[in-house]
Amino acid sequence: MPAPSPPRPAGTDGTAAGRIVLLTASHRVAPGLLSWPAWQALRAADRVLCADPGHPQLPYLREAGVKVAHESPDAHALVEACAGGRTVVVIPSGEGDRRLTDGLARLAGSGRVDMPDLELLPGSYDLPGARLLDLVQVMDRVRRECPWTSRQTHEGLVKYATEEAYELVEAIEDGDRDALREELGDVLLQVVFHARIAEEDGDEPFSIDDVAGGLVEKLIHRHPHVFGDADAQTPEDVSAHWQRTKAVEKQRESVTDGIPLGQPGLALAAKLAGRVRTGALAVELPRGEGIGYELLELAARAEAAGVDPETALRAAARAYRDAIRAAEGLGSGGERTI
């Protein structure tokens, strides 16, 4: 149990100035899940004030025997309520009460008022990923109220998914941390957007929770060395188990099943070569005339050496781009795509 706050020196009238506790709680955490210091402060307070009679915490406070007055005092009244060494806990409405906190700041800065101790006590904290709940709520409202967003379909959004993915790759290759954060958000938006559209399907609806739930199950099932008793000492062990699990899950007839043929050519060639290698299949590269077969051989060689040919070619192309700009008398780089 934390030590109690030391008593305040007496004010000019001989009375202690008391203590104000502003109790905050995350709206993203279920009401009633308050920290132990928060419950201690509530139970020990002389008065507990909350201006919002519909505040989600109130039923739980009543159940715990904490009496709450539905009042919205200004700063002067709140300071007076603490006279005589009393403790008043204020439960702000929503994200906070700016009027009250600004008023307390002005009183404290005036130097003319014997101020109580002022404590900001977090009653609950956001859990990791809590802002995703906000994202889902905002996406739901935008889908309902925005004339453009409300008319979009899975098919109409396809081009944006590919564009955002390439912009994410560019941010990673540039080493631009600010751009990386932004582009990750744009890719995440595509996921949430498509899931929101899927909720409206009349035959086979699903939601973002279904998407996330399926992903959680997949990750747990495909990582028995983390969540189970399986043993995997190397990345190669993990990859081999992953491929075996996927083959059983999807009942694939061929190692080529599930490889999207619409991906860039070098990536497609490397993916096929990787499936052949991990599947220990004795399949020789097809021979033929033309640059396509030469590129196929290069992609297979790169994959076998642990090199992503798409990444390698982009790096070489970027160096070529810089050489072109240098020949033009310009600096390297240039503006990123927006």
Give the residue numbers spanning the domain of 28: 19-122
Lookup: tokens for 236: 């190669």
CATH number of the domain enclosing 26: 3.40.1010
DSSP structure class, residue 126: P
Query: Domain holding 183: CATH number?
Result: 1.10.287.1080
163: amino acid identity, one letter = E
Band of pLDDT at residue 335, cut at 50, 70 and 90:
low
For residue 11, pLDDT over 70 is answered with: no
Domain boundary among 221, 250, 273: 221
198 and 271 belong to one structural domain: no
Q: Which of 71, 97, 122 is the last residue of a domain?
A: 122
Claim to verify: residue 92 and residue 40 sit in the same structural domain: yes
**Which of the pair, 142 or 71, is modelled with greater confidence?**
142
Residue listed under structure tokens 């020949």: 327
Residue 142 in this model has a pLDDT that exceeds 70: yes
**For the whole prediction, is pTM greater than 0.75?**
no
Tens-place pLDDT, residues 279-312: 888 899 999 989 999 999 999 999 999 999 999 9
Please give the tally of structural domains in the chain.
Answer: 3
| pLDDT tens for each residue of 112-137 | 888 999 999 999 888 888 899 999 99
Place of tokens 């781009």: 321
Q: How confident is the model at residue 336 (pLDDT cuts 50, 70, 90)?
A: low
Do 116 and 34 lie in one domain? The reply is: yes
Candidates 48, 112, 46; CA nearest to 85 is: 46
